Structure 1
Amino acid sequence: MRPSVLLLRALLAALWLAALPVHAQAPVREYDSIVESGVLRVAVYQDFAPYSFQQDGQARGVDVELARALADGLGLELALIWAPPGEKLDDDLRDYIWRGHYLRPHELADVMLRVPYDRDFAYMSNEFGELANDLVVMFGPYQRERWLVAHDRRRLKQVPSVAVFQQHPIGVEVDSVPSFYLSSVFDGLLSRQLHHYPNVRATFAGMKQGEVDAVMALRGEVDWQLHLAADPELARAQNAYPKMGKQVWDIGMAVHQSNRQLAYALEEKLEELILEGKLKELYARYGLQYELPGLYQDAEQDE
């Protein structure tokens, strides 16, 4: 196609975009304004047990309790913003940290929890070679996350490797990383034994009913379901997952890039919770294993 035609198309596209209604960016509250208001607005994911969910009209979950502890540490009241997850984390950061959602134009959070603390992600470029998240600061790792398999020892005594799922059915959440992984590893040999469910809770129900012998999900979700089941025959498998890529990562927080003062204040309170063992106790109340993020593991090794 001739350059002149390409240029004309680009100009027409620009004019079309300019004619669309402008979505004004929601105002970002600076640290002094947050303190003056007496309220810390924290975004947590909606219906994401055991991290953040509602039960009998009460907000529950380790992220909810962490948010409350951080707000208390700053002498502020907590206001939760329940965030339905978008298709990508970039969407969530845009909708709750730096611009706002068009359906909630004035509902920016001061801080968002359960954001990957990952240098590669923080400095990821978009299709134009620009930083995709240049308006966001990701900081404050507070937990190490990983994938985990749980199995029913009445039908599957142990899981020496994921190759065992050539003979034993395993349940996963639809459109999840475990789904993509188990359907493709070993040239797809496990896909015949792969059962899909709408959520992790349903995968455990399937295991309880004998439809599958194991499930694979986030460690926190697996731990929570094991805690609720209170069944000694349900066990955790400690496996590596060949050719899976990133299997372990740290979870942290995010604020607008103009609000580093808030980030510093939150980091100080978070470090107290981690070093005093209070965050580990919080996780234990939900039946979850707590693993220090890499930042603190490295510090322990240096001592």
Structure 2
Amino acid sequence: MWSSRLGAFLLGCACLLAPPAQAREYDDVIASGYVRIGLYRDFPPYSYLDRGEPAGVDVEIGKRIARGLGVRFEPHWITPDENLEDDLRNNVWKGHYLDKNDEQPLVLKRLADVMMRVPYDRDYSYMRDSTGEVINEQVVMFGPYQSESWQVAYDSEKIDRVSTMAVFQYHSIGVEVDSLPAFYLTSGFQGRMREHTRHFASVPEAFAAMRRGEVDAVMGMRGEIDQQLAQVASGRYRLAENGFPSMGKQSWDLGMAIKHSNRQLGYAVEEIVDGLIRRGDMAQLYRGLGLHYALPAFYRDTAN
């Protein structure tokens, strides 16, 4: 017991004394010949490994960013922490001493040069803590590249049509455990859908259960649902038409994040991504992966 306590004490001392990981500036990235793109691991269809190779729409965008910079693409895999602020701190501006996937836990985990799939939301970017300090002051969130939303897919042999969530008072629906849809379906509407809500480890697992006849529908992010429908390639499973009353924000824009001191890299990346969107390359990339593409609000507003 004494030796374990001593080890924990020494580890804590090492963590306190070690300097924070250094974010690489634009010139460092170009000189190195590669850019580290921060991607959430095991998160299809956005970023995951397919037969050992990085795959997903964020991976493809990362490769195009690297190509635009004239450097090599290098994935920086992110295991989600308790919240997004932790993910930004651990992967964009400070680093983490206790990375469970690191064989050398006393060595700071390397930082991503650019992190993908970060909310592009002014209120979140400038959110303050109880003392009035800006929580994400070390981070710049920029470059919206996609609008995401919630979606329901259903088995048309079990349900004729889903135009309202009221049908799930009588039909079962699968959701990812601890997700916003799980909370919405079990807590809203005076709990009338709670007993028909089934929880799964992921949206793909929920969709597999629907194919086995265990649930009649699945709710998840539009991209997750699109990927599952593309893999099934059957008219039996369809997209619902309904909205989600009392859910609050039902669609949101996604962008990227860099450390606040590395704006030059951010400007270069933003220009590349902006070109992809305005030329139609981004929409084509999504379509090529069987995914629906929705423009972020910034581009919808400027188009009007």
- 8 Å CA contact 2:21–2:93 kept in 1: the answer is yes
- 8 Å CA contact 2:15–2:97 kept in 1: the answer is no
TM-score (norm 2): 0.91
Alignment of 1:1-303 (within 5 A): 21-103=16-98, 105-301=108-304
TM-fit CA distance, 1:90 = 0.5
- 8 Å CA contact 1:27–1:106 kept in 2: the answer is no
TM-fit CA distance, 1:276 = 1.0
Which runs of 5 or more structure 1 residues have no equivalent in the other structure? 1-16
How many residue pairs end up in the alignment? 285
Q: Please give the secondary structure, in 2, of the residue aligned with 1:21.
A: helix
Q: Please give the secondary structure, in 2, of the residue aligned with 1:239.
A: coil
- 8 Å CA contact 1:149–1:214 kept in 2: the answer is yes
Q: Please give the secondary structure, in 1, of the residue aligned with 2:16.
A: coil
TM-fit CA distance, 1:141 = 0.2
Cα distance in structure 2, aligned partners of 1:19 and 1:281: 48
Cα distance in structure 2, aligned partners of 1:264 and 1:92: 22
Which runs of 5 or more structure 2 residues have no equivalent in the other structure? 1-11, 100-107
Cα distance in structure 2, aligned partners of 1:86 and 1:145: 21
RMSD: 1.5
Q: Please give the secondary structure, in 1, of the residue aligned with 2:64.
A: helix
TM-fit CA distance, 1:24 = 2.5
- The letter for the 2-side match of 1:208 is R
Aligned partner of 2:102 in structure 1 is none
- 8 Å CA contact 2:20–2:95 kept in 1: the answer is yes
Cα distance in structure 2, aligned partners of 1:144 and 1:19: 42
Q: Deviations over 1:101-127 (max 9, x none)?
A: 113514101110000000111011123
- 8 Å CA contact 1:52–1:61 kept in 2: the answer is yes
- The letter for the 2-side match of 1:47 is D
- State the identity as a percent: 49
- The letter for the 2-side match of 1:131 is V
TM-fit CA distance, 1:264 = 0.6
Cα distance in structure 1, aligned partners of 2:18 and 2:46: 31
Cα distance in structure 2, aligned partners of 1:135 and 1:32: 20
TM-fit CA distance, 1:22 = 3.8
TM-fit CA distance, 1:20 = 7.6
Distance verdict in 2 for CA 1:133–1:85, change over 3 Å:
same
Q: Please give the secondary structure, in 1, of the residue aligned with 2:44.
A: coil
Instruction: Point out the more displaced range, 30-39 or 288-297.
Output: 30-39
